[in-house]
């Protein structure tokens, strides 16, 4: 299928599809005239990429995990578990740091606000 067809089937712009290809997430072959052609399973691959991006994974991690995807849904083989665990632990650390920073800022604001009120 052509890049425009893949874009329509997935709702992803051709520019973004080319980016996915540059990042090693999506493959194509060149037809006559140099036009990109994608296999029929590219629609499922793009959907997998979008779901993994929505989960907060960077493209470098998606490139590592994508071979572990099986089937049309986003079911992952065990080979993805260690990488995903590292990512989840990293998110947990960032959330904790943000909560600590929020608490510190709320404490500072409580001492400087005219009525001592801390928003939200």
Residue 4 per-residue DSSP state: H
pLDDT of residue 1: 93
Question: What is the pLDDT at residue 7?
Answer: 97
pLDDT the model gives residue 22: 96
**Residue pLDDT tens, the chain, 120 long:** 999 999 999 999 999 999 999 999 999 998 888 888 999 899 999 999 999 999 999 999 999 999 998 877 778 888 899 999 999 999 999 999 999 999 999 999 988 867 656 666
Q: How far apart are CA 41 and CA 1, in angstroms?
A: 10
Structure tokens at 113: 């606000």
67 - beta bridge partners?
A: none
Tell me whether residue 42 is exposed, middle or buried, using C-beta atoms within 10 angstroms of its C-beta: 0 to 12, 13 to 18, 19 or more.
Answer: buried
State the first-to-last Cα distance of the chain, in angstroms, to the nearest integer.
Answer: 50
The pLDDT value recorded for residue 65 is 94
Look at the pTM and tell me if it is higher than 0.75: yes
Mapped onto helix, strand or coil, the DSSP state of residue 69 is strand
Q: Where in the chain is the domain with CATH 1.10.1660.10?
A: 1-76
| pLDDT at site 115 | 65
CATH class, range 1-76: mainly alpha
């Amino acid at each position: 299928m052509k890049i425009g067809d893949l874009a329509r089937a997935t709702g992803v712009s051709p520019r973004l599809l080319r980016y996915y290809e540059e990042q090693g997430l999506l493959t194509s072959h060149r037809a006559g005239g140099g036009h990109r052609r994608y296999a029929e399973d590219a629609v499922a691959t793009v959907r997998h990429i979008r779901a993994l991006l929505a989960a907060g994974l960077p493209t470098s991690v998606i490139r590592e995990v994508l071979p572990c995807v099986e089937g049309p849904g986003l079911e992952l083989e065990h080979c993805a578990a260690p990488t995903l665990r590292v990512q989840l632990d990293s998110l947990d650390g960032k959330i904790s740091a943000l909560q600590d920073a929020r608490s510190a800022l709320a404490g500072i604001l409580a001492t400087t606000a005219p009525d001592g009120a801390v928003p939200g």
